[in-house]
Structure 1
Amino acid sequence: MGQLDGKTALVTGGTSGIGLATAKRLADEGAYVFITGRDRARLDAAAASIGAHGVQSDISKPEELDTLAAEIAAHGAGLDIVFANAGGGDFATLADVTPQHYRDNFDRNVAGTVFTVQKTLPLLNDGASIILAGSTAASEGMPAFGLYAASKAAIRSLGRTWAAELADRKIRVNTIVPGPIETPGLTGLAPADQQQELLDGMAANLPLKRVGKPEEIAAAVLFLASDQSSFMTGAELAVDGGQIQV
């Protein structure tokens, strides 16, 4: 018996890194899993590798979220778990920020999350669990990462509000806060010949002296998705090697 037998889950950005590892873990625990991704070939490969239902979707485009919601509705079981994982960001100092950079960060991380949850809200079964993807950046002042950090601070605030709004349906909303995790999204912030240096530098600043693995975040998302966290809502769960704790 899996922890999620009979449950239906959605993982956005499920084609690599944390999203893929989490979708696999939820499926391994018995859930029927929908995953999204923008690239059809990568989406199909990821879905096949874990036995998930892939839906090509860009969370920054509301019309594609409508298509996603329609496919989930057609499955006929509603939704018990939403992991709003898709997002991202890149470096730009205040002097270098452009309107496009602003839109890219906030459309993906804030608008994408808002409208993913909004569009799936009618599908959520009472007692469902929503997990939002936060970041340690929201609690730090990392130079050149200001817009990304601000967008993730907005996610933390939304998690609190939605937890209050949805409590009457016993829907729980929590935010997971990964530290540095070895994923394509993280290593892609540096040129190929500097990626290991980036990871080593991050590890050196952590109490545990290593970066995390996507499977470690997946285990924490499973906790928030399951009845093991039944008395948690509106909370942040940091899985960060101690980065903002110590």
Structure 2
Amino acid sequence: MVTENAGSPAGGRLVGRSCAVTGAASGIGRAVAERFVREGASVVAFDVDEAGLDRLAERFPDAVSTVVGDVARDEDARRLVAAAVERHGRLDVLVANAGIIPLMEITEATAEDWDHVMAVDGRGMFLTCKYAIEAMTAQDRPGGSIVCLSSISGEAGQRGQAVYGPAKFVASGLTKHLAVEWADRGIRVNAVAPGTITTERVARLYDEPGGTEYLGAIEKLHPMGRLGDPAEVAAAVLFLASDDASFVTGVVLPVDGGYLAQ
């Protein structure tokens, strides 16, 4: 159960800010985009899912514009950042959220599986951060905030994640290295590490054979005894993106119901 105020706006913490969110058509990315809009931001939403982006933009026509593309493609990542600068004059916040989550053991995985996940979750995060930093250092008032989406799988080992888990270690590592590299130029780089979150894909498991039993077992692995909600992750992303975290950089913040505390 989500806490009562998890999705409630806290008073315009991103008023006047230009923000780009990848993977914004669904799940955590969509929750982040929605929360940012309620906090006063202008959001450029990016995803391969054009229909999902259209639904988001229809809800917030004055605050959300969209770019369809694949973060793993250099030209698409560059185009996202250029769109934010062209439409809003600058880029203040990047949320590097786009990713895919295949679950398989190493004996099941192929080299193609590895390359595909690393292209989206690894290369895609690298590219969007690269072009965001280039824009943030070139604008009239240099600086900005980047929030990467890691995972509990990017902080601790888990079964069945021989491909996905290492990609999230990339997210955690990239966050720390970029934070040190760009701190003196006014760019903060942080990450959140969610536990299991009830995104659309996870919610569908309840209707699949064995899904209820599987999710029940996963819930028990989280000391709070439940799964998280995308709005709860969005609240943590908002904190790291906003001036409330002005002296915070290089942090990988768990949003995991106590999972990593065990």
Interval of TM-score (by shorter of Structure 1 and Structure 2)? over 0.9
Secondary structure of 1:244's counterpart equals helix
Match of 1:15 among 22, 25, 30: 25
Does residue 241 (structure 1) correspond to residue 241 (structure 2)? The answer is no
Equivalent residues of 1:88, 1:185 under 8 A apart: no
Question: 1:207 aligns to what?
Answer: 223
CA distance in 2, matches of 1:42, 1:182: 17
Equivalent residues of 1:187, 1:199 under 8 A apart: no
Instruction: Mark the CA change 1:154 to 1:46 in structure 2 (over 3 Å): closer, same or farther.
Output: same
**What TM-score do you get using the length of structure 1 for normalisation?**
0.94
Does residue 57 (structure 1) correspond to residue 69 (structure 2)? The answer is yes
Secondary structure of 1:218's counterpart equals helix
Question: 1:115 aligns to what?
Answer: 127
Does residue 69 (structure 1) correspond to residue 81 (structure 2)? The answer is yes
CA distance in 1, matches of 2:227, 2:188: 29
Equivalent residues of 2:205, 2:212 under 8 A apart: no
Secondary structure of 1:126's counterpart equals coil
Match of 2:178 among 144, 162, 166: 162
CA distance in 2, matches of 1:189, 1:77: 42
1:12-35 deviation digits (Å, cap 9, x = unpaired): 000111110110001100000111
Gaps in structure 2 of 5+ consecutive residues: 1-10
Match of 1:36 among 33, 38, 46: 46
* Superposition deviation, residue 191 in structure 1: 7.1
Does residue 2 (structure 1) correspond to residue 12 (structure 2)? The answer is yes
Instruction: Mark the CA change 1:243 to 1:50 in structure 2 (over 3 Å): closer, same or farther.
Output: farther
Question: 1:130 aligns to what?
Answer: 146
* Superposition deviation, residue 130 in structure 1: 0.4
* Superposition deviation, residue 164 in structure 1: 1.1
CA distance in 2, matches of 1:225, 1:185: 26
What CA RMSD, in Å, does the superposition of the two structures yield over aligned residues? 1.7
* Superposition deviation, residue 89 in structure 1: 2.1
Equivalent residues of 1:84, 1:116 under 8 A apart: yes
Moved segments of 4+, more than 4 Å: 187-191
Equivalent residues of 2:147, 2:192 under 8 A apart: yes
* Superposition deviation, residue 39 in structure 1: 2.0
* Superposition deviation, residue 208 in structure 1: 0.6
